[in-house]
Amino acid sequence: MRCAVRPMELADIPQVVQIEKEAFPTQWPPTPFEREILHNRLAAYLVAYEVEDEQETHEVSGTSPAPPEARGTLETFVSGVRRLLGQEERGAPARAQKLVGFVGLWFMVNEAHVTAIAVRESHRRHGIGELLLMAATELSMERNEEIMTLEVRVSNLGAQALYEKYGFVKVGVRPEYYVDNREDALIMSTPQIGTASFQQEFHRLREAHFQRYGANHKRRLEPNV
């Protein structure tokens, strides 16, 4: 069974709320997803879902190069990027889908801020978090944002390793950022994502991810991401 990424729809909210509660049980208040989708023009949310029909991921066309065995998953989330940008008509999924993760973004002046990446516990360590991060990066590039930023717990070494793999570096600390245990947050930021060097490395990592997990990968992920 494969995993792909698309824009979040209103019908997805119950499942996304479950995933958020599971991934961030102490978070308060919960994310107002309906308001974010309907009224926050600066926000974008993508969901990862299980693909049951092998043909589904071959019914769209992508513009980014990828190896043939990777093209289905890549083209599906590129299609989602296009819908977010208004290049395709946005519609509800053709049938009920099992969601396994989501990523949230806020777009500010020349900056894409990753607000959350969450994956169902049953599907962690299968590459889903990395796939969501790739989709978020792809969307940020499509929007011509200059950098990406995020916060991460100082204790979450697995997530930090994933972000560092994709070019994020530690640029600061937010003391006592997390309300549940007053843990500090590391501020991480990418270099300019529009540069040839960043995009070349991004495409290399993306191809390596698809090569590793293939068409029938079981979707691995770093802890707590």
The rounded distance, in Å, linking the Cα atoms of 91 and 12 is 12
75, 138, 145, 151: which is the annotated catalytic residue? 151
**Residue 113 belongs to domain with CATH number:** 3.40.630.30
**Mean pLDDT for the stretch of residues 175-186:** 95
Q: Quick check: 137 and 166 in contact, CB under 8 A? A: yes
Q: Is residue 80 part of a domain?
A: yes
Q: Give percent above pLDDT 70 in the chain.
A: 75
Q: Is residue 95 part of a domain?
A: yes
Q: Is residue 26 part of a domain?
A: yes
Domain count along the chain: 1
Q: Is residue 56 part of a domain?
A: yes
20, 45, 49, 163: which is the annotated catalytic residue? 163
151 tagged catalytic: yes
Domain extent at residue 121: 2-144+194-213
Predicted pLDDT of residue 23: 95
Three-state secondary structure along the chain? CEEEEEECCHHHHHHHHHHHHHHCCCCCCCCCHHHHHHHCCCEEEEEEEEECCCCHHHCCCCCCCCCCCCHHHHHHHHHHHHHHCCCCCCCCCCCCCCEEEEEEEEEECCEEEEEEEEECHHHCCCCHHHHHHHHHHHHHHHCCCCEEEEEEECCCHHHHHHHHHCCCEEEEEECCCCCCCCCCEEEEECCCCCCHHHHHHHHHHHHHHHHHHCCCCCCCCCCCC
pLDDT band at 218 (very low <50, low <70, confident <90, very high): very low
CA 172 distance to own-chain centroid: 23
The pTM (predicted TM-score) of the whole model is 0.80
176 tagged catalytic: no
pLDDT (tens digit per residue) in 59-79 = 332 334 344 344 444 444 444
Q: Is residue 134 part of a domain?
A: yes
Q: Is residue 201 part of a domain?
A: yes
Q: Is residue 15 part of a domain?
A: yes
Which segment of 38-47, 51-60, 146-155, 176-185 scores lowest on mean pLDDT? 51-60
Q: Is residue 174 part of a domain?
A: no
The rounded distance, in Å, linking the Cα atoms of 111 and 195 is 15
pLDDT band at 225 (very low <50, low <70, confident <90, very high): very low
